[in-house]
Amino acid sequence: MRYIFTLFLLAALSCAGSAQNRQISLEDLFVNNTFRTEGVYGIRSMNDGNHYTVLENGNRQIIKYSYKTGKAVDTLLNLQKTADSRVPNIADYQFNAAESRLLICTARKPIYRRSYTAEFYLYDFKNRELKPLSENGRQQLATFSPDGERIAFVRENNLFIHDLRFGSERQITFDGKFNHIINGAPDWVYEEEFAFNRAFEWAPDGSALAYIRFDESAVREFPMNMFEGAAPTIKENALYPSVYSYKYPKAGETNSTVSVHVYDLNDRTTQTMETGGEPDSYIPRIRWTKDPKFLAIIRMNRHQNKLELLSANVRTGKSTILYREENKYYIDESNLDRFIFLEDGQHFVLTSEKSGYMHLYLYDMSGKEKRAITAGTYDIADYYGYDAARKLFYYSSYEVSPLEKQIYSVDSKGKKSRLTTEKGWNDAAFSSNFNYYIHTVSSAGRPPVTTLYSAGNKKVRVLEENKNAQNLLQAYGIATREFLQIPAADGATQLNASILKPLDFDPQKQYPLLITQYSGPNSQQVRNNWAGVTWLHYLAQEGFIVVTVDPRGTAARGEEFRKCTYLQLGKIESDDVIAAAKWLAEQSYIDPKNVAIWGWSYGGFMSSLCLMKGNDVFSTAISVAPVTHFKYYDSIYTERYMRTPEENEEGYEENAPLNWADKLKGNLLICHGTADDNVHVQNAYELAERLVQANKQFDMAIYTNRNHSIRGGNTSLQLYGKFVNYLKEHLK
């Protein structure tokens, strides 16, 4: 679900503008990419901490730079010179431990959101030879061992190891089968909702490979018709559609059975790790400790309100509980990648909301808490790592404001230093030894500026200013979002919001209003960051006011604010958005008869629900790829917030748009892709049927073979053109 939040963050957070000299067109946004900003991409900090590499020239060159001087010191790989047609470009790359070889990923073919097959190639710097990793078919997830002598990868649901010393390929699992058994890669629902795509890990000395095995044999399949279509065309489906059927556990249904195994490279044996007797528990991560004899396994119960970190002896498979946490609501999946074992082998770092806010904690390897690294009435956002030489932890937080992200360091005694001084949204990428970091900052009216700093927070130089983007903003007269607070439905809570007005805004006039939102748990759209120039600029140019609202249940304001929607998804959020719309409709510059709402995915769920629940304030809604009843959505996401339909029937039924169909009064446009593997088109079809039977008129657009993002060819141009035309037709 959060996928579409990422993909369409630019749209939902952006400010609109009306032109002073030039007019924005939809072609500017969806064809010409006129307002693109630049950054520093594909960065890899090298072992010495003094150099980094960057992908350049159409992702056909890997250039080595000096942090200190900023100058290119070497071209490590130049595909333009090799003229090797097998590798048209570099999608991704990694170095081996000695930085003597490169593993290059190219020709990706997506499977789901994070998964893909690809062709991997090895490049040896010594003999300048480029050769395929394997001649036996496409691969997934190819990864160097820590010593750089081997590469593990997945092919057709089985694990393989390529030995660089002998050029040999060894298969280590043999039961992999589509829609039955997966070794070393997650199933659909784990990939989507636990946010990872690799389910194997090398031991720190390269002596073993740990992996998760998914038995999805008992999981029910969901079929999707695939038509001929266009951009791309599936020619073999010209007359008869094919059916793509895959395992998708809906709320309350059977999940995969998971187990953890460790393959020993020396004796070529596989040991099963002890993970408990509960078949319905989750294993969302495995991580090696710094001791190759012990594997850490994260185990969660199905309700996801209890998490345990197990320490498993890889020889015997026996495990003990190293850390346990329970929560009265749920434990958010963002914590899963923050169990970090420090290089001293004696401690690990984790994040927890046990204080009521997300904070960092330090534990020893006996499972005893040593101290809270951060504390206060604010949430941390990112953990960047621990600098052992300077004894500093680096992180970012919302301490200044929920609308801003600032970067800090804190020492072992709790002395904190703020590294960033500019208002806005700050991110950092540190060098391997923390001697340097690349800092990017943006704000609502300022495109990203990327700057290099050295240890001690000393500015070295600006890497990218995005002057071209800044000049375009002036040439087109792009307006800037203003931030405000709007009362929530409870009358006490203030909701963060942003408003975008036409450049020629006249407070004596009344304007049609579009509310945009996502509203999903722990999401955030109201930020003081640069969110690009999008279709919302175009709307403001055409005389609309656009307001973005974050209702209760969203991020950066502590656990109680974030989790108050537990067991009742949609209720508080829709109440808040409806209350915000009513408050805005009372403002003198808003036309109260022309108030619309737009949203995608969770936001589509909300826009359809708000139109029906708030039919006295909303006249129009656009609902894109909506969940229309959470019984149709997947087990892990839905049950995290709602438990199962059997346990919480009232919570599921009360706020399902399906059950509000007879309350529709205004104009509703539903858009959905037929090949949406995430939020199935079933949701749109079932809502449409309820509306038909309630004798309600509505509009619907179905996109052939399109997934959750509804992209490909001219699709985006046509889709957003439809949005604009619909709003103009019904609000102006």
Tell me the pLDDT tens digit for each residue of 594-653.
Answer: 999 999 999 999 999 999 999 999 999 999 999 999 999 999 999 999 999 999 999 999
Burial label, 646 (beta-carbon count in 10 A; 0-12, 13-18, 19+): exposed
What does the pLDDT average to over 10-19?
37
Domain boundaries, the chain: 2-35+476-731, 41-162
Amino acid at 559: E
Distance between CA atoms of residues 199 and 105, nearest Å: 18
Q: Is 657 helix (H, G, I), strand (E, B) or coil?
A: helix
* pLDDT at 10 (0 to 100): 35
Chain centroid to CA 444: 21
Distance between CA atoms of residues 144 and 148, nearest Å: 6
Q: How sure is the predictor about 210, in pLDDT bands with cuts at 50, 70 and 90?
A: very high
Task: Output the CATH code of domain 2-35+476-731.
Answer: 3.40.50.1820
Q: Is the pLDDT of residue 674 over 50?
A: yes
Edge-to-edge strands, sheet with 406-411: 380-387, 392-397, 406-411, 416-418
Strands 458-464 and 340-341: unpaired
Q: Is the pLDDT of residue 15 over 70?
A: no
| C-beta separation of 22 from 472 below 8 A | no
Q: Is the pLDDT of residue 236 over 60?
A: yes
Q: List Cβ neighbours of 415 (8 Å cut-off, separation of 6 or more).
A: none
pTM: 0.95
| C-beta separation of 176 from 182 below 8 A | yes
Q: Which of 23, 58, 66 is nearest to 42 (CA)?
A: 58
Q: What is the DSSP letter of 338?
A: G
Distance between CA atoms of residues 535 and 12, nearest Å: 9
- Secondary structure element (H or E) that encloses residue 603, with its range: helix 602-613
Question: pLDDT tens digit string along 350-365?
Answer: 999 999 999 999 999 9
Tokens representing residue 640 in the block: 């995290």
Question: pLDDT tens digit string along 37-86?
Answer: 998 877 899 999 999 999 998 899 999 999 999 899 999 999 887 667 78
Task: Output the CATH code of domain 41-162.
Answer: 2.130.10.10
Question: pLDDT tens digit string along 520-567?
Answer: 999 999 999 999 999 999 999 999 999 999 999 999 999 999 999 999
* pLDDT at 11 (0 to 100): 38
| C-beta separation of 666 from 620 below 8 A | yes
What does the pLDDT average to over 494-501?
98
Q: How sure is the predictor about 278, in pLDDT bands with cuts at 50, 70 and 90?
A: confident
Question: pLDDT tens digit string along 82-110?
Answer: 667 789 899 999 999 999 999 999 999 99
Q: Which of 309, 202, 192 is nearest to 256 (CA)?
A: 192
